[in-house]
Amino acid sequence: MLCPSVRLMSVTASLAGAVLLAPAAYAGVSCSELATDPANGLLGSPNVKSVNSQVIAASGPNVAHCQVNILYGENPSQNINIRVGLPLNELDGGTGGVQGAWNGRTQGIGGGGCSGSLNVGGPVNAGYVGSGNDTGHAGGDCTPGVNQDGTYNLQFINDFIRNGMKQQVLFSKAVAKTYYAMKPAYNYWNGCSTGGRQGYVLAQELGTELDGILANAPAIYWTRFQTAQMWGQLVMRDAFGGAIPAARLNQATTSAIAACDAADGVPDGVIDDPRTCRFSARANVCGMPTAPAENCLTLAEADAIDRIWDGPRNVEGNKLWFGLDRGTSLPALNGTSPFFLGVIQFQWNTHDRSFDWTTVSADEYAEVAQAGSRNIADVTDTFGDLDVFRKSGGKLLTFVGMNDQLIMPRGVLHYYREMAARYSNRDKPDFKRLQGFYRLFRGPGVAHCSGGAGPQPQNLFGALVNWVENGVAPDQILAQNTSGGVVTRTRPLCPYPQTAVYNGSGSTGDAANFHCGDNLEKLHTVCEDVLTEYKDEVSGDLDYTGMGVNPVACKATARARGR
Ligand SMILES: [Ca+2]
């Protein structure tokens, strides 16, 4: 057998950036020792309430690995479960990596909804040290964020919003260093939805710890967008006391796609940029020549759907958050029961666990939104800057489906535009400059994280790794549709504000016939998405601050459009 230290040095040389701590002799420890020897930094350490570690044998698709479970808490009420999965090191029989079976990298994975995740099999099977955490609570219920006595349970909220994943990342790096006697060469995050939001929190608040973050469909602006999940429910309840039948909602979506699909130059069943689609559900009112053969609407239903697309406004008509875009499946938020996290969000906003959303009219929406902004959104909404992350050389990659049915994708564009303004030389957003470390890819026709009629993005994480380790920034991401395992359509996805432009000849089902171009930051599109002042939702002015959007130009274009 090759001397471990020689072998370690030779393979390490192939991994740029790896830092070898102990070239003379391999100083790693066995998996079982990680939790039993206080010298390894876990047992007996401050705030580590308990720890165990054991080798888990290979099973089905899962490789043999070392599993470390840590219960972390700085006080009796804080109980964050963290799991770190480590490909076996040499002492434990691992082979094939830069040390044992390890590829020299860590990859934290995120949760969903109000849950974390302890399932680290994906990264571990790919050779990474994988990590997850439960965000400090079991299950997916956010209700305990408000105590019965009407106070906030800030421990619960902060552990879910930020503490869990920060400790997860820090422990995963420390445990890897001890187990392999090597610092990880690269550290990554990989999450979607809540996992995407967690990636943004890490970029904003733990900016020096990660080299690359894949944060898809991020649930940032948690309070504001989850409150907006209830908008359609209020509108429908006001108008006719209940939900529009799903078949009629779905027909309205189908009709909107039919009306706007070809306007982007490619009739493919997908609206490339739904912000440009002005289709009104009134076209589907029963008796209208444009009405569909089945599932036509009453006028009240049509107006309610138009308001769902438009999104919440206050009584003065100023926009408070973004709606669901045309082409997006509507029943997830607008079914006979509201989405459960939206109901709980109203309770968080009002810090009243028994708050009943059915007591709120659409005209009163702004009051609930403002309560949320003033009471809790500073804690939950994670809209901080990326200064430290940017300065330390991190790369942030985000994919968001334009027909996401749970988060409002325009919220992600909103943050991206803000950062483009922040990292520009002048007031005007500078997307090229922003793209130096932060790239946002839109997925036309794609639903929440995946699904929907649009081409699905391929190998986003691989693109991030290539960017971080080889300096190759992704200029496009390949997306595809498949049917029965056969690829039926390919299309490039482009870094915002570019989009895929058809070259004019050849199959529109072939990515080779498209290039990334155009500029979707059209003045009227951007102006219409300026929001009412944060924390003054009831009667505040539209807030252009920090958006890089010129209010004078917006007023001029609004006048020209007669709006
Ligand atoms: Ca189209």
Three-state SS annotation for 27-40: CCCCHHHHHHCHHH
Gap from CA of 259 to ligand 1 centroid (Å): 10
Weakest-pLDDT range from 16-30, 93-107, 304-318:
16-30
Gap from CA of 263 to ligand 1 centroid (Å): 7
What is the mean pLDDT of the segment spanning 34-49? Answer: 95
pLDDT at 453 over 60: yes
Gap from CA of 291 to ligand 1 centroid (Å): 21
- What is the pLDDT at residue 154? 98
Gap from CA of 270 to ligand 1 centroid (Å): 4
Gap from CA of 454 to ligand 1 centroid (Å): 10
Gap from CA of 452 to ligand 1 centroid (Å): 14
Q: What is the pLDDT of residues 196-238, one digit of tens each?
A: 999 999 999 999 999 999 999 999 999 999 999 999 999 999 9
Gap from CA of 438 to ligand 1 centroid (Å): 27
- What is the pLDDT at residue 18? 45
Gap from CA of 513 to ligand 1 centroid (Å): 15
Torsion angles phi and psi, residue 17, rounded to 5 = 90, -10
Gap from CA of 273 to ligand 1 centroid (Å): 9
Gap from CA of 265 to ligand 1 centroid (Å): 6
In the chain, what percentage of residues exceed pLDDT 70? Answer: 95
**Cα distance between residue 515 and residue 451, in whole Å:** 23
Gap from CA of 156 to ligand 1 centroid (Å): 44
Weakest-pLDDT range from 54-68, 396-410, 420-434, 435-449:
420-434
- How many angstroms separate the Cα of 129 from the Cα of each of 3, 39, 83, 263, 533? 24, 21, 10, 47, 43
Gap from CA of 518 to ligand 1 centroid (Å): 15
- What is the pLDDT at residue 54? 98
Gap from CA of 436 to ligand 1 centroid (Å): 29
Q: Which residue has the tokens 């895929």?
A: 500
Gap from CA of 449 to ligand 1 centroid (Å): 20
- What is the pLDDT at residue 314? 98
pLDDT at 5 over 70: no
Cis peptide before 497 (omega within 30 of 0): yes
65-72 vs 80-87, strand pairing mode: antiparallel
Gap from CA of 467 to ligand 1 centroid (Å): 30
Gap from CA of 267 to ligand 1 centroid (Å): 4
Gap from CA of 505 to ligand 1 centroid (Å): 16
163 token code pair: 């503490």
Gap from CA of 503 to ligand 1 centroid (Å): 14
- What is the pLDDT at residue 4? 37
Gap from CA of 282 to ligand 1 centroid (Å): 22
Gap from CA of 428 to ligand 1 centroid (Å): 30
- How many angstroms separate the Cα of 268 from the Cα of each of 256, 260, 325, 402, 445? 13, 11, 17, 15, 10
What is the mean pLDDT of the segment spanning 169-191? Answer: 98
Q: What is the pLDDT of residues 287-301, one digit of tens each?
A: 999 999 999 999 999
- How many angstroms separate the Cα of 111 from the Cα of each of 204, 227, 377? 18, 20, 20
Question: How sure is the predictor about 26, in pLDDT bands with cuts at 50, 70 and 90?
Answer: low
- What is the pLDDT at residue 268? 96
Question: How sure is the predictor about 27, in pLDDT bands with cuts at 50, 70 and 90?
Answer: confident
What is the mean pLDDT of the segment spanning 8-26? Answer: 44
Gap from CA of 461 to ligand 1 centroid (Å): 27
| Mean pLDDT rounded to a whole number for the chain | 94
- What is the pLDDT at residue 11? 37
Gap from CA of 405 to ligand 1 centroid (Å): 19
- What is the pLDDT at residue 361? 98
Q: What is the pLDDT of residues 107-149, one digit of tens each?
A: 999 999 999 999 999 999 999 999 999 999 999 999 999 999 9
User: 121: number of CA atoms within 13 Å, CB side?
Assistant: 9
Gap from CA of 266 to ligand 1 centroid (Å): 4
- What is the pLDDT at residue 7? 36
Gap from CA of 309 to ligand 1 centroid (Å): 19
pLDDT at 563 over 70: no
Q: What is the pLDDT of residues 508-529, one digit of tens each?
A: 999 999 999 999 999 989 999 9
Q: What is the pLDDT of residues 377-388, one digit of tens each?
A: 999 999 999 999
Contact 445, 454 (CB under 8 A): yes
Gap from CA of 276 to ligand 1 centroid (Å): 12
**Cα distance between residue 412 and residue 193, in whole Å:** 11
pLDDT at 419 over 90: yes
pLDDT at 20 over 80: no
Gap from CA of 558 to ligand 1 centroid (Å): 26
